[in-house]
Amino acid sequence: MRYPETYSASIEQPEAFWRDKASWIDWFEAPETILSRRADGHHDWFPDGRLNTADLALDAQVRAGRGDQLALIHDSPVTGTIQRFTYAELTARVAHFAGALRDKGVGPGDRVILYMPMIPEAVIGMLACARLGAIHSVVFGGFAAHELAVRIDDAKPRVLLTASCGIEVDRVIAYKPLVDAALEESVHQPEACIVCARPQANAELQAGRDFDWAGLEAAGQAVEPVPVRATDPLYILYTSGTTGKPKGVVRDNGGHAVAMRYSMAVVYDASPGDVFWAASDVGWVVGHSYIVYGPLITGCTTILYEGKPVKTPDAGAFWRVCAEHGVNVLFTAPTAFRAVRKEDPEAEELSRYDIRCLKRILLAGERLDPTTHAWLSDKTGLPILDHWWQTETGWAICCNPVGIEKLPTQPGSAGVPTPGFDVAILDASGQPANPGEQGQVAVRLPLPPGCLTTIWGDDARFRHAYLDPVPGYYYSGDGGYRDAQGNVFIMGRMDDVINVAGHRLSTGEMEEVVAAHPAVAECCVIGVRDELRGQVPVGLVLLKDGATIAADDLEDALVEMVRQRIGAVACFQRAEIVERLPKTRSGKILRRVLRDIADGEDYAVPSTIDDPGILEDIEKRLHS
């Protein structure tokens, strides 16, 4: 069946469609009911089914004869080590650590927070929670103590899992002092803190509260997977960059498992035995979906990488991992390859490695600009595929469905709606927009399996943020348009659309133009308050290494390029060269903070920023 027929079946006959996909996984009790509506108006997928997500990711693969296949490869250039685990070995470690957690009182429905670096124990801890029917919440290891404390008070975990340290390129970051500070600040106190010792730093353990990971795991009795309802929560994941009370996205077990298995096939065309690498962090949704659960539920070998695309040790790091481990599918953020391109614009490092194993590269997490798309395509000769999704959805809303049919690639487009997602572009009045007309991107309810079911402890906030803005739809908060062929173009958050003298213009569209200049490695365009026009665009530009061009000459060239591509209506008249762009640790540019700086507003330095000093430099430049 080709894509149009598959997509139509998923929208017109969703229960039959997802009944078939549910048969792809092993259930303890297969669901009879596929979709139900609760009294509060929310929908449940597979409500009478029972399963265990860790069983699907581990035991089911051993039952299928993959016990001796590699399940997990931990590649850590920051420590110079590589560890490999077969499915049988990983199953055993998870089962014993689940026993250790059970000994500390963890059972179905209990919460466990993980504050971990990219080490195998992070994956083991997640899967051990799932094995017990407990709910894990991974907090990105780069968060400050206060942010961890806020999440402890919201999730109220019985146990906290951490490590003695993380490593950032060549800098050792002690985690235990951060955990201690968070626990001093938090009202809720976990009953135990389990610490994985790493040789790069010692951790001081508090008697009665803190315990050594290795010792507990060795003493733990292996635990069999605990059957849970499909609607029981698997994890809570707090959205990055939140202010005030955090927003904990809740993912269920059953819908999530079915979505992970299906998405690995349709979005990535990954099969059992493939080597799959999502170059992200387990603290983010990509790490949950496509480092841990998606690949393992599918029977792939997954890569856990502790390093950066550059400087660990060089811009050939990604190519080395692909060649050494036989990676078939690579998934990362455009930011990663913009960093590689900046340091190695001619891809000379690529020539050192044989990457014929690699079948395709997929990118998401931010808009894939056509310049980066063209560079990757030219240098690798591989299919370069964009796709769009959110922490809230857990998997791709739009993609090139290569597992069904590879459609022509449209640079700048995130692809077509993924089967199951009834995507609509709506105008300001909530009516469908015409092809080519920009509007708000929404998804008709019910959402397909695998998407968020609520906000932890705050269903009213879930409704207010996602369901109330456009009745009958999930409100994505992103703007975009659809062309005549059905391709969806995501132009950024709705608040990244600026109003210049009554004209609504996309900063994403301007960024496409600016990024096309041969001296530009990366850029950001923000809307700045203007007394005459309401807002005007300002570009912040990062130059390629070795680029030699005067600031005034570059600004003149970019102004002319925007005028030619978009028109004088854009009023693009200013571009500032900066040394770095401020980003969260997950690689997203802090556009809202930049707008506040440009407008002279007070701004808070987000806990997610990778280098707060960047903001001071940009503030000076914007107000000079």
Q: What are phi and psi of 187, to 5 degrees?
A: -75, -50
What the block records as the tokens of 329 is 């599918």
Both tokens assigned to 504? 């609504």
Give pLDDT, residue 507. 83
Closest C-alpha among 72, 453, 7, 81 to residue 230: 453
Residue 253, SS3 per DSSP? coil
Distance CA 129, CA 232 (A): 13
Contact, 112 vs 145, CB < 8 A? no
What would the mean pLDDT of 482-502 be, rounded to a whole number?
A: 80
Rounded distance between C-alpha atoms, residue 407 and residue 100, angstroms:
48
Residue pair 444/434 in contact by the 8 Å Cβ criterion: no
Quote the CA–CA distance of 559 and 555 in Å, as a whole number.
Answer: 6
- Distance between CA 527 and CA 496 in Å, rounded? 8
Share of the chain above pLDDT 90, in %: 76
Give the model's pLDDT for residue 52: 99
The amino acid that residue 586 corresponds to is: S
β-strands 423-426, 520-530 pairing: unpaired
- Per mean pLDDT, which range of 64-68, 131-135, 207-211, 408-412 is the poorest? 408-412
Following DSSP, what letter does each residue of 475-540 receive, concatenated?
Answer: EEEEEEEE-TT--EEEEEEGGGEEEETTEEEEHHHHHHHHHTSTTEEEEEEEEEEETTTEEEEEEE
Nearest Cα neighbor of 326 from 370, 300, 356 is: 356
Q: How far apart are CA 123 and CA 350, in angstroms?
A: 30
Residue 242 has pLDDT above 50, yes or no: no
What are the residue boundaries of the structural domains of the chain, listed by start? 3-307+387-480, 501-622
Per DSSP, helices labelled H in 55-86 are 60-61
State the architecture of 3-307+387-480 in CATH terms. 3-Layer(aba) Sandwich (3.40)
Please give the average per-residue pLDDT across 140-154, as a whole number.
87
The CA-CA-CA angle for residues 427, 432, 434, to 5°, reads 85
* Dihedral sign, Cα of residue 105, residue 284, residue 163, residue 186: negative
CATH number for the domain running over 501-622 = 3.30.300.30
Burial class (CB in 10 A: 0-12, 13-18, 19+), 579: exposed
pTM value?
0.86
Q: Round to whole Å and give the CA distance between 266 and 81.
A: 33
Q: So what's the pLDDT on residue 596?
A: 84
Structure tokens at 63: 């039952």
| pLDDT bucket at 330, cuts 50 / 70 / 90 | very high
Structure tokens at 95: 């089962």
Joined together, the tokens standing for residue 290 give 């496509």
Task: Specify the DSSP element, H or E, that contains 332.
Answer: strand 329-332
Q: Considering only CA atoms, which of 168, 219, 165, 169 is closest in space to residue 197? A: 165
- Does the pLDDT of residue 575 top 60, yes or no? yes
CA distances in angstroms from 158 to 251, 307, 623, listed in the order given? 19, 31, 49
Q: Tell whether the model's pLDDT for residue 244 goes beyond 70.
A: no
pLDDT of residue 569: 75
d(CA 500, CA 58): 54
Sign, Cα dihedral of 77, 83, 87, 92: negative
Q: pLDDT value at position 610?
A: 64
> Phi first, then psi: what are they for 137, rounded to 5°?
-135, 110
| Count of C-beta atoms within a 10 Å radius of residue 37 | 10
**Using an 8 Å Cβ cutoff, are 193 and 155 in contact?**
no
- Rounded CA gap, 624 and 611, in Å? 22
- Degrees (nearest 5) of the Cα angle 235, 209, 149? 50
Identity of residue 329:
V
Q: Are 560 and 524 in contact (CB under 8 A)?
A: no
Do β-strands 43-45 and 35-37 pair in parallel, antiparallel, or remain unpaired?
antiparallel
The amino acid at 78: V
Residue 140 has pLDDT above 90, yes or no: no
Q: What is the pLDDT of residue 501?
A: 62
Residue 563 has pLDDT above 90, yes or no: no
Angle between helices 370-380 and 334-343 (to 10 degrees): 70
The H or E element that residue 1 is part of is: none
Residue 620: its pLDDT value, please? 83
Coil vs helix vs strand at 98 = helix
Rounded Cα gap, residues 387 and 369, in angstroms: 12
Judge whether 450 and 393 are in contact, CB under 8 Å.
yes
Reading the block at residue 353, the tokens are 């490695």
User: 15 or 532: whose pLDDT is higher?
Assistant: 15
- What integer is the mean pLDDT of 480-498? 85
Q: Are the beta carbons of 22 and 33 closer than 8 angstroms?
A: no
In whole angstroms, give the CA distance from residue 480 to residue 415: 12
Q: Provide the pLDDT for residue 539.
A: 95
pLDDT at residue number 607? 67
| Closest of 448, 427, 449, 450 to residue 439, by C-alpha | 427
User: What does the mean pLDDT of the chain come to?
Assistant: 93
Whole-number Å distance between alpha carbons of 413 and 367? 9
**Is the predicted pLDDT of residue 44 greater than 90, yes or no?**
yes
pLDDT digit string, tens, across residues 588-605: 788 878 888 888 888 777
Please answer whether residues 362 and 380 qualify as being in contact, where contact means their C-beta atoms are separated by less than 8 angstroms.
no
Report the side by side order of strands in the sheet with 488-493: 423-426, 439-444, 473-482, 488-493
Q: Which whole number is the average pLDDT over 526-542?
A: 85
Average pLDDT for 20-36: 98
405/418 Cα distance (integer angstroms): 12
pLDDT at residue 502 in the model: 57
- Contact between 60 and 49 under an 8 Å Cβ cutoff? The reply is no
Residue 473, sorted as left (phi over 0), alpha (psi -120 to 50) or beta, turns out to be beta
pLDDT band at 615 (very low <50, low <70, confident <90, very high): confident
Q: Decide if 523 contacts 576 (C-beta within 8 A).
A: no
